Structure 1
Amino acid sequence: MRKRNRKRTEMRLMQAAGEIFLAEGYQELGVNKIARHADVNKGLIYRYFGTLEILFKRYIEQQDFWSPYKENIDQILEENKADSGKSLAKKILHEQLEYFYKNKQMQELIRWEITEKNDISRGVSNMREYAGDQMLGLTDAHFGNTQVSFRAVMTLLIGGIYYCVLHDKTNGSKFCGLDINHPDDMRQLHKTMDQIIDWAYQSAVDSKP
Protein backbone atom coordinates (compact mmCIF):
# COMPACT_ATOMS: atom_id res chain seq x y z
CA MET A 1 0.00 0.00 0.00
CA ARG A 2 2.78 2.43 0.91
CA LYS A 3 4.54 1.80 -2.39
CA ARG A 4 1.33 2.51 -4.30
CA ASN A 5 0.76 5.68 -2.29
CA ARG A 6 4.30 6.83 -2.95
CA LYS A 7 3.93 6.15 -6.66
CA ARG A 8 0.70 8.14 -6.82
CA THR A 9 2.27 11.03 -4.94
CA GLU A 10 5.32 11.02 -7.21
CA MET A 11 3.03 11.13 -10.24
CA ARG A 12 1.05 14.03 -8.75
CA LEU A 13 4.24 15.97 -8.08
CA MET A 14 5.58 15.38 -11.59
CA GLN A 15 2.22 16.33 -13.08
CA ALA A 16 2.18 19.50 -10.98
CA ALA A 17 5.71 20.39 -12.11
CA GLY A 18 4.69 19.85 -15.73
CA GLU A 19 1.56 21.97 -15.47
CA ILE A 20 3.47 24.85 -13.86
CA PHE A 21 6.22 24.54 -16.48
CA LEU A 22 3.69 24.71 -19.33
CA ALA A 23 1.78 27.62 -17.85
CA GLU A 24 4.57 29.73 -16.38
CA GLY A 25 7.95 28.43 -17.55
CA TYR A 26 10.90 26.74 -15.91
CA GLN A 27 11.98 29.80 -13.95
CA GLU A 28 8.71 29.74 -11.99
CA LEU A 29 9.18 26.20 -10.72
CA GLY A 30 9.70 26.01 -6.97
CA VAL A 31 9.29 23.47 -4.21
CA ASN A 32 6.54 25.40 -2.44
CA LYS A 33 4.59 26.10 -5.62
CA ILE A 34 4.75 22.49 -6.81
CA ALA A 35 3.71 21.17 -3.40
CA ARG A 36 0.73 23.53 -3.26
CA HIS A 37 -0.29 22.64 -6.80
CA ALA A 38 -0.12 18.92 -5.99
CA ASP A 39 -1.71 19.45 -2.57
CA VAL A 40 1.03 17.55 -0.72
CA ASN A 41 3.62 18.38 1.92
CA LYS A 42 6.73 19.88 0.33
CA GLY A 43 8.88 17.56 2.43
CA LEU A 44 7.76 14.70 0.17
CA ILE A 45 9.59 16.31 -2.74
CA TYR A 46 12.87 15.97 -0.88
CA ARG A 47 12.00 12.52 0.46
CA TYR A 48 10.98 11.05 -2.89
CA PHE A 49 13.21 12.96 -5.31
CA GLY A 50 15.99 14.54 -3.29
CA THR A 51 15.99 17.82 -5.19
CA LEU A 52 13.71 19.93 -7.36
CA GLU A 53 16.06 19.36 -10.29
CA ILE A 54 15.71 15.58 -10.04
CA LEU A 55 11.93 15.91 -9.84
CA PHE A 56 11.85 17.96 -13.04
CA LYS A 57 14.31 15.62 -14.77
CA ARG A 58 12.00 12.71 -13.94
CA TYR A 59 9.10 14.65 -15.43
CA ILE A 60 11.07 15.25 -18.63
CA GLU A 61 12.05 11.59 -18.91
CA GLN A 62 8.40 10.64 -18.46
CA GLN A 63 7.43 12.84 -21.42
CA ASP A 64 10.43 12.26 -23.67
CA PHE A 65 9.86 10.37 -26.92
CA TRP A 66 13.17 8.52 -26.61
CA SER A 67 12.65 7.08 -23.11
CA PRO A 68 10.95 3.81 -24.24
CA TYR A 69 13.70 3.27 -26.81
CA LYS A 70 16.38 3.74 -24.17
CA GLU A 71 14.71 1.26 -21.83
CA ASN A 72 14.48 -1.45 -24.53
CA ILE A 73 17.59 -0.63 -26.51
CA ASP A 74 19.14 -4.13 -26.59
CA GLN A 75 15.96 -5.80 -27.85
CA ILE A 76 15.39 -3.07 -30.43
CA LEU A 77 18.92 -3.38 -31.78
CA GLU A 78 18.67 -7.16 -32.03
CA GLU A 79 15.35 -6.99 -33.89
CA ASN A 80 16.60 -4.51 -36.48
CA LYS A 81 19.95 -5.91 -37.55
CA ALA A 82 18.66 -7.63 -40.69
CA ASP A 83 18.09 -4.48 -42.77
CA SER A 84 20.85 -2.39 -41.16
CA GLY A 85 18.34 -0.27 -39.26
CA LYS A 86 16.37 0.92 -42.29
CA SER A 87 12.93 -0.06 -40.97
CA LEU A 88 13.82 1.24 -37.53
CA ALA A 89 14.83 4.63 -38.93
CA LYS A 90 11.48 4.95 -40.68
CA LYS A 91 9.58 3.83 -37.58
CA ILE A 92 11.38 6.36 -35.38
CA LEU A 93 10.69 9.23 -37.78
CA HIS A 94 7.00 8.40 -38.20
CA GLU A 95 6.44 7.94 -34.48
CA GLN A 96 8.42 11.03 -33.58
CA LEU A 97 6.46 13.24 -35.98
CA GLU A 98 3.12 12.01 -34.61
CA TYR A 99 4.22 12.17 -30.98
CA PHE A 100 5.75 15.64 -31.24
CA TYR A 101 2.76 16.99 -33.15
CA LYS A 102 0.30 15.78 -30.50
CA ASN A 103 2.31 16.28 -27.29
CA LYS A 104 2.28 19.87 -26.06
CA GLN A 105 4.57 19.03 -23.15
CA MET A 106 7.24 17.70 -25.49
CA GLN A 107 6.90 20.74 -27.73
CA GLU A 108 7.50 23.09 -24.82
CA LEU A 109 10.41 21.00 -23.55
CA ILE A 110 12.19 21.18 -26.90
CA ARG A 111 11.47 24.90 -27.15
CA TRP A 112 12.92 25.34 -23.66
CA GLU A 113 15.99 23.23 -24.43
CA ILE A 114 16.95 25.30 -27.47
CA THR A 115 16.42 28.66 -25.78
CA GLU A 116 17.82 28.13 -22.26
CA LYS A 117 21.17 26.57 -21.41
CA ASN A 118 21.09 24.46 -18.24
CA ASP A 119 22.37 21.19 -16.84
CA ILE A 120 18.97 19.47 -16.81
CA SER A 121 18.23 19.96 -20.50
CA ARG A 122 21.83 19.09 -21.38
CA GLY A 123 21.56 15.82 -19.44
CA VAL A 124 18.31 14.84 -21.14
CA SER A 125 19.74 15.79 -24.52
CA ASN A 126 22.75 13.57 -23.83
CA MET A 127 20.37 10.71 -22.97
CA ARG A 128 18.64 11.13 -26.32
CA GLU A 129 21.97 11.31 -28.09
CA TYR A 130 23.12 8.08 -26.46
CA ALA A 131 19.97 6.20 -27.48
CA GLY A 132 20.11 7.64 -30.98
CA ASP A 133 23.78 6.81 -31.36
CA GLN A 134 23.15 3.19 -30.38
CA MET A 135 20.51 2.88 -33.07
CA LEU A 136 22.51 4.71 -35.70
CA GLY A 137 25.27 2.22 -35.03
CA LEU A 138 23.11 -0.30 -36.90
CA THR A 139 23.49 1.79 -40.04
CA ASP A 140 27.26 2.33 -39.93
CA ALA A 141 28.22 -0.83 -41.79
CA HIS A 142 25.80 -0.05 -44.63
CA PHE A 143 26.97 3.55 -45.03
CA GLY A 144 30.65 3.05 -44.29
CA ASN A 145 32.97 3.93 -47.19
CA THR A 146 30.13 5.51 -49.20
CA GLN A 147 29.23 9.05 -50.25
CA VAL A 148 26.18 9.14 -47.95
CA SER A 149 26.21 10.36 -44.34
CA PHE A 150 23.12 8.78 -42.85
CA ARG A 151 23.71 10.58 -39.57
CA ALA A 152 23.48 13.87 -41.45
CA VAL A 153 20.26 12.67 -43.12
CA MET A 154 18.70 11.88 -39.74
CA THR A 155 19.93 15.18 -38.29
CA LEU A 156 18.09 17.10 -41.00
CA LEU A 157 14.93 14.99 -40.79
CA ILE A 158 14.58 15.11 -37.00
CA GLY A 159 15.45 18.80 -36.96
CA GLY A 160 12.83 19.31 -39.66
CA ILE A 161 10.21 17.55 -37.55
CA TYR A 162 10.93 19.84 -34.62
CA TYR A 163 10.84 22.98 -36.73
CA CYS A 164 7.72 22.12 -38.73
CA VAL A 165 5.72 21.37 -35.60
CA LEU A 166 6.98 24.32 -33.56
CA HIS A 167 6.42 26.65 -36.53
CA ASP A 168 2.83 25.44 -36.81
CA LYS A 169 2.11 25.64 -33.08
CA THR A 170 3.69 29.10 -32.75
CA ASN A 171 2.99 30.79 -36.08
CA GLY A 172 0.07 28.80 -37.46
CA SER A 173 0.95 29.49 -41.08
CA LYS A 174 1.90 27.09 -43.85
CA PHE A 175 5.54 26.10 -44.33
CA CYS A 176 6.72 25.59 -47.91
CA GLY A 177 3.06 25.47 -48.88
CA LEU A 178 2.19 22.61 -46.52
CA ASP A 179 -0.20 22.74 -43.59
CA ILE A 180 0.58 19.86 -41.24
CA ASN A 181 -2.88 20.21 -39.70
CA HIS A 182 -4.29 18.99 -43.01
CA PRO A 183 -4.28 15.16 -43.19
CA ASP A 184 -3.14 15.08 -46.83
CA ASP A 185 -0.18 17.34 -46.10
CA MET A 186 0.77 15.31 -43.03
CA ARG A 187 0.65 12.15 -45.15
CA GLN A 188 2.99 13.83 -47.64
CA LEU A 189 5.53 14.42 -44.88
CA HIS A 190 5.37 10.77 -43.82
CA LYS A 191 5.65 9.57 -47.42
CA THR A 192 8.58 11.87 -48.15
CA MET A 193 10.49 10.73 -45.07
CA ASP A 194 10.19 7.15 -46.33
CA GLN A 195 11.39 8.23 -49.77
CA ILE A 196 14.41 10.00 -48.30
CA ILE A 197 15.38 6.95 -46.24
CA ASP A 198 14.97 4.68 -49.28
CA TRP A 199 17.08 7.08 -51.35
CA ALA A 200 19.82 7.20 -48.73
CA TYR A 201 20.09 3.41 -48.46
CA GLN A 202 20.06 2.89 -52.22
CA SER A 203 22.47 5.76 -52.85
CA ALA A 204 24.91 4.21 -50.39
CA VAL A 205 24.81 0.95 -52.35
CA ASP A 206 25.31 2.78 -55.63
CA SER A 207 28.27 4.80 -54.35
CA LYS A 208 30.27 1.94 -52.87
CA PRO A 209 33.56 1.37 -54.70
Structure 2
Amino acid sequence: MAGKSITGERDREATEKRLLDTIGKMIAEDGFEKIGINAIATQSGVSKILIYRYFGSVEGLMAAYIRQHDFWLNFPLEYPSRKELPAFVKGMFQGQIEQLRNNPTLKRLYRWELSCNNDMIVKLREQREKVGIDLIKKVSELTGHPQKEIAVMASLLTASITYLVMLEDFCPVYNGIPLNENSGWEQINEGIEVFINKIFQNEH
Protein backbone atom coordinates (compact mmCIF):
# COMPACT_ATOMS: atom_id res chain seq x y z
CA MET A 1 0.00 0.00 0.00
CA ALA A 2 2.81 2.40 0.94
CA GLY A 3 4.63 1.52 -2.30
CA LYS A 4 1.54 2.36 -4.33
CA SER A 5 1.21 5.67 -2.51
CA ILE A 6 4.84 6.62 -3.24
CA THR A 7 4.44 5.62 -6.88
CA GLY A 8 1.24 7.66 -7.12
CA GLU A 9 2.99 10.70 -5.65
CA ARG A 10 5.85 10.33 -8.13
CA ASP A 11 3.41 9.97 -11.02
CA ARG A 12 1.56 13.08 -9.91
CA GLU A 13 4.79 15.03 -9.52
CA ALA A 14 5.93 14.00 -13.03
CA THR A 15 2.51 14.89 -14.50
CA GLU A 16 2.42 18.28 -12.79
CA LYS A 17 5.94 19.03 -14.06
CA ARG A 18 4.92 18.08 -17.59
CA LEU A 19 1.90 20.39 -17.39
CA LEU A 20 3.92 23.29 -15.99
CA ASP A 21 6.61 22.81 -18.67
CA THR A 22 3.90 22.65 -21.35
CA ILE A 23 2.11 25.83 -20.30
CA GLY A 24 5.44 27.65 -19.96
CA LYS A 25 6.39 26.66 -23.51
CA MET A 26 2.94 27.53 -24.91
CA ILE A 27 2.89 31.00 -23.34
CA ALA A 28 6.49 31.72 -24.41
CA GLU A 29 5.71 30.75 -28.02
CA ASP A 30 2.14 31.97 -28.54
CA GLY A 31 1.14 34.16 -25.60
CA PHE A 32 -2.29 33.55 -24.14
CA GLU A 33 -4.29 33.37 -27.35
CA LYS A 34 -4.03 29.60 -27.74
CA ILE A 35 -4.15 28.73 -24.06
CA GLY A 36 -7.13 26.54 -23.29
CA ILE A 37 -7.78 23.28 -21.54
CA ASN A 38 -8.00 21.33 -24.82
CA ALA A 39 -4.76 22.75 -26.21
CA ILE A 40 -2.91 22.06 -22.94
CA ALA A 41 -4.22 18.49 -22.82
CA THR A 42 -3.18 17.88 -26.44
CA GLN A 43 0.30 19.34 -26.11
CA SER A 44 1.08 17.72 -22.76
CA GLY A 45 -0.57 14.36 -23.40
CA VAL A 46 -2.33 14.70 -20.04
CA SER A 47 -6.09 14.24 -19.77
CA LYS A 48 -8.32 17.21 -18.99
CA ILE A 49 -9.58 15.31 -15.94
CA LEU A 50 -6.09 15.27 -14.40
CA ILE A 51 -5.50 18.93 -15.23
CA TYR A 52 -8.68 19.87 -13.35
CA ARG A 53 -7.87 17.48 -10.51
CA TYR A 54 -4.35 18.78 -9.96
CA PHE A 55 -4.80 22.50 -10.70
CA GLY A 56 -8.55 23.19 -10.69
CA SER A 57 -8.48 25.24 -13.90
CA VAL A 58 -6.22 26.73 -16.56
CA GLU A 59 -5.86 29.79 -14.29
CA GLY A 60 -4.79 27.47 -11.47
CA LEU A 61 -2.10 26.02 -13.71
CA MET A 62 -0.85 29.49 -14.64
CA ALA A 63 -0.81 30.53 -10.97
CA ALA A 64 1.19 27.37 -10.18
CA TYR A 65 3.74 28.36 -12.84
CA ILE A 66 4.11 31.78 -11.22
CA ARG A 67 4.48 30.17 -7.80
CA GLN A 68 7.21 27.87 -9.10
CA HIS A 69 9.24 30.64 -10.79
CA ASP A 70 8.45 33.84 -8.89
CA PHE A 71 11.58 35.47 -7.44
CA TRP A 72 10.04 36.49 -4.11
CA LEU A 73 8.05 33.30 -3.52
CA ASN A 74 11.27 31.31 -3.85
CA PHE A 75 13.54 33.74 -2.04
CA PRO A 76 15.83 31.94 0.44
CA LEU A 77 15.20 33.48 3.85
CA GLU A 78 18.79 33.33 5.07
CA TYR A 79 19.78 36.71 6.40
CA PRO A 80 23.32 38.13 6.35
CA SER A 81 25.22 39.88 9.08
CA ARG A 82 24.90 43.66 9.41
CA LYS A 83 28.23 44.13 7.61
CA GLU A 84 27.11 42.08 4.60
CA LEU A 85 23.64 43.64 4.44
CA PRO A 86 24.28 46.33 1.75
CA ALA A 87 25.69 43.73 -0.69
CA PHE A 88 22.81 41.38 0.18
CA VAL A 89 20.16 44.04 -0.56
CA LYS A 90 21.83 45.08 -3.84
CA GLY A 91 22.08 41.45 -4.92
CA MET A 92 18.45 40.87 -4.02
CA PHE A 93 17.10 43.60 -6.31
CA GLN A 94 19.60 42.84 -9.07
CA GLY A 95 18.61 39.17 -8.83
CA GLN A 96 14.96 40.14 -9.30
CA ILE A 97 15.89 41.97 -12.52
CA GLU A 98 17.95 39.09 -13.88
CA GLN A 99 15.36 36.43 -13.12
CA LEU A 100 12.43 38.33 -14.58
CA ARG A 101 14.30 39.50 -17.69
CA ASN A 102 15.43 35.95 -18.44
CA ASN A 103 11.97 34.42 -18.16
CA PRO A 104 9.64 35.78 -20.87
CA THR A 105 6.85 33.43 -19.77
CA LEU A 106 6.92 34.82 -16.24
CA LYS A 107 6.85 38.37 -17.63
CA ARG A 108 3.71 37.57 -19.59
CA LEU A 109 2.13 35.90 -16.57
CA TYR A 110 2.86 38.96 -14.44
CA ARG A 111 0.90 41.02 -16.95
CA TRP A 112 -1.92 38.50 -16.76
CA GLU A 113 -1.80 38.58 -12.96
CA LEU A 114 -2.25 42.37 -12.96
CA SER A 115 -5.60 41.98 -14.70
CA CYS A 116 -6.87 39.17 -12.44
CA ASN A 117 -8.23 38.91 -8.95
CA ASN A 118 -9.22 35.26 -8.54
CA ASP A 119 -8.60 33.26 -5.36
CA MET A 120 -5.36 31.76 -6.66
CA ILE A 121 -3.89 35.17 -7.44
CA VAL A 122 -4.99 36.51 -4.04
CA LYS A 123 -3.10 33.61 -2.38
CA LEU A 124 0.02 34.32 -4.45
CA ARG A 125 -0.06 37.95 -3.36
CA GLU A 126 -0.53 36.93 0.28
CA GLN A 127 2.52 34.64 0.05
CA ARG A 128 4.62 37.39 -1.54
CA GLU A 129 3.44 39.81 1.14
CA LYS A 130 4.62 37.48 3.91
CA VAL A 131 8.10 37.20 2.36
CA GLY A 132 8.25 40.98 1.88
CA ILE A 133 7.22 41.74 5.45
CA ASP A 134 9.79 39.28 6.84
CA LEU A 135 12.55 40.91 4.78
CA ILE A 136 11.49 44.43 5.76
CA LYS A 137 11.44 43.53 9.46
CA LYS A 138 14.90 41.98 9.28
CA VAL A 139 16.45 44.89 7.38
CA SER A 140 14.82 47.30 9.84
CA GLU A 141 16.26 45.37 12.81
CA LEU A 142 19.76 45.25 11.30
CA THR A 143 19.88 48.91 10.22
CA GLY A 144 17.80 50.71 12.83
CA HIS A 145 15.66 52.31 10.09
CA PRO A 146 11.93 52.29 10.92
CA GLN A 147 9.96 49.55 9.18
CA LYS A 148 7.71 52.16 7.55
CA GLU A 149 10.69 53.74 5.77
CA ILE A 150 12.14 50.40 4.65
CA ALA A 151 8.69 49.30 3.39
CA VAL A 152 8.37 52.37 1.15
CA MET A 153 11.91 52.08 -0.24
CA ALA A 154 11.52 48.34 -0.91
CA SER A 155 8.12 48.88 -2.55
CA LEU A 156 9.44 51.60 -4.84
CA LEU A 157 12.32 49.41 -5.99
CA THR A 158 10.47 46.13 -6.43
CA ALA A 159 7.47 47.74 -8.16
CA SER A 160 9.73 49.81 -10.44
CA ILE A 161 11.77 46.77 -11.42
CA THR A 162 8.65 44.72 -12.22
CA TYR A 163 7.11 47.56 -14.24
CA LEU A 164 10.27 48.35 -16.23
CA VAL A 165 10.98 44.70 -17.05
CA MET A 166 7.41 44.21 -18.27
CA LEU A 167 7.69 47.45 -20.26
CA GLU A 168 10.92 46.62 -22.10
CA ASP A 169 9.13 44.57 -24.78
CA PHE A 170 6.96 47.55 -25.74
CA CYS A 171 8.88 50.67 -24.79
CA PRO A 172 12.55 50.84 -25.86
CA VAL A 173 13.43 53.94 -23.80
CA TYR A 174 12.24 55.16 -20.39
CA ASN A 175 13.61 58.44 -18.97
CA GLY A 176 16.46 58.15 -21.43
CA ILE A 177 17.36 54.63 -20.25
CA PRO A 178 17.45 52.11 -23.15
CA LEU A 179 15.34 49.28 -21.74
CA ASN A 180 15.87 47.18 -24.85
CA GLU A 181 19.65 47.10 -24.38
CA ASN A 182 21.83 45.50 -21.70
CA SER A 183 23.56 48.86 -21.23
CA GLY A 184 20.27 50.29 -19.95
CA TRP A 185 19.95 47.55 -17.35
CA GLU A 186 23.57 48.01 -16.33
CA GLN A 187 22.68 51.66 -15.73
CA ILE A 188 19.70 50.60 -13.60
CA ASN A 189 21.85 48.15 -11.63
CA GLU A 190 24.42 50.87 -10.99
CA GLY A 191 21.63 53.22 -9.90
CA ILE A 192 20.36 50.61 -7.43
CA GLU A 193 23.88 50.38 -5.96
CA VAL A 194 24.04 54.17 -5.53
CA PHE A 195 20.55 54.22 -3.98
CA ILE A 196 21.35 51.42 -1.50
CA ASN A 197 24.70 53.02 -0.58
CA LYS A 198 22.94 56.30 0.24
CA ILE A 199 20.39 54.50 2.42
CA PHE A 200 23.09 52.75 4.43
CA GLN A 201 25.29 55.85 4.69
CA ASN A 202 22.39 57.78 6.23
CA GLU A 203 21.49 55.35 8.99
CA HIS A 204 20.56 56.78 12.32
Partner of 1:150: 150
Partner of 1:15: 21
> Which residue identity lines up with residue 164 of structure 1 in the other structure?
L
* Equivalence map 1:39-118=2 (5 Å): 39-47=45-53, 49=54, 51-52=56-57, 54-69=60-75, 72-73=76-77, 76-77=78-79, 80-83=80-83, 85-118=85-118
Count of aligned pairs: 195
> Which residue identity lines up with residue 124 of structure 1 in the other structure?
L
Partner of 2:3: none
Q: CA deviation at 1:134?
A: 0.9
Secondary structure of the 1:190 match is helix
- Measured in 1, the distance between the counterparts of 2:32 and 2:118 equals 14
Secondary structure of the 2:203 match is helix
- Measured in 1, the distance between the counterparts of 2:52 and 2:185 equals 44
TM-score (norm 2): 0.80
Secondary structure of the 1:204 match is coil
Q: CA deviation at 1:107?
A: 0.9
Q: CA deviation at 1:186?
A: 2.1
Aligned partners of 1:21 and 1:29 also within 8 Å: yes
Give the share of equivalent positions with the same residue, in percent. 25
> Which residue identity lines up with residue 32 of structure 2 in the other structure?
G
Distance 1:106 1:56, change over 3 A: closer
Partner of 2:165: 165
RMSD: 2.7
Partner of 2:32: 25
Structure 1: runs of 5 or more not aligned: none
Range moving further from structure 2, 94-103 or 180-189: 180-189
TM-score (norm 1): 0.79
Secondary structure of the 2:202 match is helix
Distance 1:182 1:32, change over 3 A: closer
Write the deviation string for residues 100-151 of structure 1: whole angstroms up to 9, x where unpaired: 11211121122112223222222112211111211111121324459x8122
Q: CA deviation at 1:6?
A: 3.6
- Measured in 1, the distance between the counterparts of 2:111 and 2:69 equals 14
Write the deviation string for residues 53-93 of structure 1: whole angstroms up to 9, x where unpaired: 54333222112112331xx42xx13xx14348433221110
> Which residue identity lines up with residue 199 of structure 2 in the other structure?
A
